[in-house]
Amino acid sequence: MRNSPNEPAAKLRPPKRFAVLANPQIPEAVELAETIGQQLEGEAYWGTLNDEQVRDQISQQPVDLCIALGGDGTMLRAGHLCAPLNIPILGINLGRFGFLTEVRRPDWEQALSRVMDGDYWLEERMMLRADHLRSDKGLGSWEVLNECFIGRGELVRPVDLVTEIDGRYLTTYVADGLIVATPTGSTAYALAAGGPILSPELRNVVIVPVAPHLSVDRAIVLHEGSSVRVEVRTKHQAILSIDGGLPVSLEDRDRVELRAADNVVHFARLQDPGYFYRNLTSRMGQKPGSEKAL
């Protein structure tokens, strides 16, 4: 179900089956996951995002709502798990920024009471599909909620990135890298690289170069139906990273092809639909520090 941003949220059917998943790196999240799992009415699984048994249970017996405890990184990992299963996610923030989470740590009991009454709405976020190809062989496929980064590895040397849109040559970026992001990812790495901020309900693709040298230095916003193809030209290390995950090594003339994914992520929201801009302005002045978003 998708509510218009300008319409009041209608009550939804209260969820009956739950998955409560914690970031294993946050002890408080693991403890709170057990507390919530024990208090929830109906059937509930709880554990960490690394718990294969819990992940298998969710895949075999889909739930009505996933409660994710952590920060924005936790929400990304939960999105990868839940999007193919069409499971909405309610985020409880135990990280730092919490762009994607919905509930503050002290408010979880009140929030769950509202959810159990059906007093929430679902926000739809688009994803991208990224394919890694070498010659005509596919080496990997991923779904992307934030962004795909294609660029240099550890050596501080730019790479050439031959970029096509809808099968037509755009330009060859000489840069540290290229970010291809969703509207959700527009407030993450793409924002740090100088890209635009897009409203989360939009369905667009954003291309942002990172430290371009004598190349096109402006971000480009594409329609959701567009496809992007990036071919790496390099004599040194290059990588592909999905949503800030572990890097995948790229060789000269490897290609990464991106387009809108079939799956979407649904976030359970309790705030009014204007929350995004209100939260954005309040958080832009925060100092992120050196820790990775959990």
Alpha carbon 266 to chain centroid, angstroms:
11
Residue 268 and residue 115 in contact, taking contact as beta carbons nearer than 8 Å: yes
Within the chain, where are the H helices?
27-39, 52-60, 72-82, 108-116, 189-192, 275-283
Structure tokens at 225: 């139906």
* CA-wise closest residue to 260 among 185, 195, 203: 203
Structure tokens at 175: 């840069």
* CA-wise closest residue to 27 among 70, 75, 83: 70
Rounded to whole angstroms, how far apart are CA atoms 41 and 223? 43
Residue 88 and residue 82 in contact, taking contact as beta carbons nearer than 8 Å: yes
Strand partners, 220: 207
What residues are labeled active site?
72
